[in-house]
Structure 1
Amino acid sequence: MIVFVSLLSKHAFLIIAYNQNTLLQTLINQIDHPNSDIYIHYDAKFELPNINTIYSSLYFTDRIAVTWGTFSLVEAELILFKTALTKHKYEYYHLLSGQDLLIQPINKIFEYFNKSLNKQFLDFYLNDKWFNDLGFKSKKTLYELKTQYGVIHHGSEWCSLTNEAVQIIVDEIDQIKQNFRTIHTADEIYKQTVLFQHKNLEFNQFGGDGGHKRYIDWSKGGPNPKTFTGNDLQQIINSGMFFARKFSEQNMNVVNYIVQLTTKKDEL
């Protein structure tokens, strides 16, 4: 059942995707709502998929080839932020990957964020372990940038930001490209560092996981999060988060269970 909320509270869902088009369409189906606009950056190395919506306006942005860990991922984000900002003024801009799913009903997500008093949902990690994993060139650049920014922050790439925060990012695109281009995994650094300079912004949570309202399992170690299986369903459901990653078409039973759960709740 589709429940309409005020058109003054439209949300933009910004998706970075590159394959697994059945999973991508599943995510789009979850988001598809009169109060959602959907923007997809689809990796230029792959053929554009046939994606459909019923209620939402759907936009494919300009495309570049994206490689993990490089500045190309930041560029894809900046394309999404700028494209959405020029189309409409949104209550929130939710940055997702094509391997995400909603784990709460869309109307519950709207209700929560519309009452969030303009907070930014962006993770800030307090430990410095991430810095030790960077190469010499990235470390050298960050030491230089610390003079400019005062502090360098790091956290998850994925976030939900207000119009004010996205406007700041878009206004500073040239500076972001100049300052962060040579830094490994800059997608996990530039937003936290740039936005923290603006003391008028309020963040949902400072320090620790979960400030972005996304459930991500890093328990296996390494640079990539765990791909969910049926053994993870209880943890996902009990997480209290609104989005989760990462899912896979190889485990469609897990995907279908999550979809059925969120759809059933949405009809109550």
Structure 2
Amino acid sequence: MKHAYMIIAHKNDVTFSTLLRMLDHPDNDIFIHFDAKVKDFGTEEMQKIRNSLSHAGICFTRRTSVIWGGYSQIRSELILLEAAVGHGHYDYYHLISGQDLPIQSTEEINSFFEKNKGKQFIETFSLSEACMDRVKYFYFAQERMGRKELKDLGLFLKLIMKATYVIQNRLKLYRNRQISFMRGANWFSITHELAEYILENRKWIRKTFRWTRCCDEVFLQTLIHNTRFEDQISEQGYLRCIDWDRGMPYIWKREDQDYLQKSPMLFARKFDSNVDPDIVEKICEAYG
């Protein structure tokens, strides 16, 4: 089986280089979207990465600036899918971040997907009423705001954001009324057929989610709702080990090694070599 690993990255650190080393296998090709906000990542750094790999093919996509909660997060995923699907036919397309690591060997991962061929590994559930604000209002400043708290924004932008929300709410100017929205993690492992279906619906995705908030966790699940692809979703979920109880998400540390090695998941996030380099090294030794 052939696998396309699509990486959204924003740091060229030890975690990122370890991830690439662990994915360096003849059955894998690696596609990287590196955040345009990082100015010290250029041609020289890309060539060093190419030279460091012996087996996997590698492709750097065009770079865009990715802002938390903005449509740019969806755009980066579509850029990666376009690059991977345009390059060739892969059995599975895996979306991961530059702070993820495999927690199974490549042979075990490939064997798993061989046994489960045709299934989609996506998290999906109904979008709660409390989260409907994400999709029913226009968020024209989201690409400027990101994770910043209102107190950190300029006065003019604060006033515009507040006024826009109040007007839409008071006048009940709700958008996307006829759509049944779903939600789930943005990370996935999907088949070639579904990857093509997503790209075929790029215009609908942009029209529906262009000015929404945090909808990288909504667009895919909503797109495939009530389609044949929804019936293909595995009960095993999206195969990522992520701890939201201790962090946003929690950064794995050396004391978590035993827990990670016992996990039935295939990938884990979040790792940070600046916080705990030991766990990054130990995971690479175990599964690299």
Q: Scaled by the length of structure 1, what TM-score is found? A: 0.85
The runs of 5 or more residues in structure 2 that have no matched partner are: 140-167
Indicate the SS of the match to 1:117: coil
Q: Distance in 2 between matches of 1:146 and 1:79?
A: 28
Tell me which residue corresponds to 2:165: none
Specify the alignment match of 1:3 in structure 2: none
Name the residue aligned to 1:260.
285
* Partner Cα distance (1:162, 1:83) in 2: 15
Q: Which residue of 2 aligns with 1:93?
A: 93
Instruction: Give the conservation status (yes or no) of the 8 Å contact 2:122–2:187.
Output: yes
Verify: 1:172 aligned to 2:201, yes or no: yes
| Structural RMSD (CA) | 2.3
Q: Distance in 2 between matches of 1:18 and 1:44?
A: 8
Question: Is the partner of 1:196 in helix, strand or coil?
Answer: coil
- 2:17 equivalent among 3, 22, 25: 25
Match of 1:191 among 209, 220, 223: 220
Shift of 1:23: 1.3
- The one-letter amino acid paired with 1:233 is Q
Q: Which residue identity is paired with 2:31?
A: Y
Q: For 1:33-52, what aligned pairs fall within 5 Å after superposition? A: 33-46=25-38, 47-48=41-42, 49=45, 50-51=48-49, 52=52
Q: In structure 1, what is the equivalent of residue 112 of structure 2? A: 112
Contact map agreement 1:14 1:96 (CA 8 A) in 2: yes
State the one-letter code of the partner of 1:165.
L
1:146–1:163 Cα change, 3 Å: farther
Match of 2:266 in 1: 242
Task: Show CA shifts across 1:198-218 (max 9, x none).
Answer: 22550012xxxx600000000
Query: What corresponds to 1:76 in structure 2?
Result: 76
Deviation at 1:53, TM superposition (A): 1.1
Q: Is the 8 A contact 1:142 1:152 kept in 2?
A: no
Which one-letter code corresponds to 2:13 in the other structure? N
User: Relative to 1, partners in 2 of residues 1:143 and 1:237: Cα closer, same or farther, differing over 3 Å?
Assistant: farther
Instruction: Indicate yes or no: 2:192 matched with 1:163.
Output: yes
Q: Distance in 1 between matches of 2:256 and 2:129?
A: 26
Q: Determine if the alignment matches structure 1 residue 233 to structure 2 residue 257.
A: yes
How far apart, CA to CA, are the structure 1 residues paired with 2:261 and 2:59?
30
SS at match of 2:241: strand
Is 1:11 matched with 2:3? yes
**What is aligned with 2:240?**
214
State the identity as a percent. Answer: 33
Question: What is the deviation of 1:143?
Answer: 6.1
> Compared with structure 1, are the counterparts of its residues 245 and 261 closer, same or farther at alpha carbon in structure 2 (3 Å cutoff)?
same
Gaps of 5+ in 1: 1-8, 264-268
Assess if the C-alpha contact under 8 Å between 2:136 and 2:177 holds in 1: no
The amino acid that maps onto 1:29 is R
Aligned pair in 2 of structure 1 residues 130, 104: CA closer, same or farther (>3 Å)?
A: farther
Could you report, residue by residue, the CA deviation over 1:72-118 in whole angstroms, capped at 9, with x for unpaired residues? 01000000001100110100000000000000001110111122131
**How many Å apart are 1:135 and its aligned residue?**
8.3
* Bigger CA radius of gyration: 2
CA contact (8 A) 2:122 2:238 kept: yes
Letter in 2 for 1:227: I
The alignment partner of 1:241 has SS state of coil
Q: C-alpha offsets along residues 216-243 of structure 1, whole Å, 9 cap, x if unaligned?
A: 000035xx21111123222222221000
Residue 120 of structure 1: SS of its match in structure 2? coil
Deviation at 1:133, TM superposition (A): 7.1
Q: Which residue of structure 2 lines up, in the alignment, with residue 6 of structure 1?
A: none
If the length of structure 2 is used for normalisation, what is the TM-score? Answer: 0.80
